[in-house]
Every structure is written in structure tokens, then in C-alpha cells.
Amino acid sequence: MVPNSSAIAAGLTIADDGTNAGYVTLAWPDAAGNTFELKEKTSQGWRTLYTGGDRATTLSGRPDGTYEFQLTADGASVGAPVVVTVEHHPLARAWAFFAIGAAMFIALTVLLIKGGRDVDAHENQTAA
């Protein structure tokens, strides 16, 4: 997720920006209040995502798109809304990482098996 505006709005901050990973942690460590409500703007209005005394929440599993969040403390708005854009890694990049990982796994497996056989052969020669 990529912030469209400053990562810090009065009260609401992006504490962990999982750029291209599809998650973001929103925090409000300096906001005054006891009960906080984190809302997301939808086509029907503002939808509550969290209500309680915690000072952070992590959102994940969002499809690509732009999302707007607003914080209230004890019923009053805190700062300006924060806008975040989700931009996942391209599928081609994910497959490339998978292929590299699979090749490394196969290479290590072959190396371990071959090394084990070489050690066994050497032990058999010295024992004879």
C-alpha cells in the first residue's frame, strides 16, 4: 500500500507501509482520547473498521485500489483523512521469485544428497 499524501496526518499515521505487499498498519499514538474509531470511506459513506482503546490496527487483503481512512477519538474527528493506494507486486514478479526459490531448493537438495554420498564413499574406502 502506498500513501497518496503525507504519511502523517494529525493523529493518524501509517506506522508500517507494506508497499506492494497489500497491507498497512495505521496508528494513532499521540491522539488524545479513550475510545477510538477507525473508519473507511466507501461509496455508501464511512464504514467503521475498528472501535476500542488500542492505538493501531493492521489492514490486509485489499485488492488494488485507493482507500481513505478517518480517525475519531471519543466521537470527535482527529486530523485529516489518510489516503492509501494498494499496488500489489505484478504476477510476473511473483512467479520469478517462485522460480528462483524453486531452483535454489533443487540445487541445495542435489548438493546435500551428492555430498552425503561422497562422505559415505570416503568412509567406506577408509574402512576397507
Instruction: Judge if 63 and 109 occupy the same domain.
Output: no
Instruction: Judge if 72 and 128 occupy the same domain.
Output: no
Q: What does the buried/exposed string (b/e) look like for 38-59 if buried means 16 or more CB atoms within 10 Å of the residue's CB?
A: bbbeeeeeeeeebeeeeeebeb
| Mean pLDDT of the 82-91 span | 87
Domain that holds residue 111: 90-128
Residue 89 CB contacts under 8 Å (≥ 6 apart), including other chains? 20, 21
Mean pLDDT of the chain: 84
Instruction: Judge if 11 and 67 occupy the same domain.
Output: yes
Instruction: Judge if 82 and 122 occupy the same domain.
Output: no
| Mean pLDDT of the 64-69 span | 91
3-state secondary structure at position 122: helix
Confidence (pLDDT) at 51 = 95
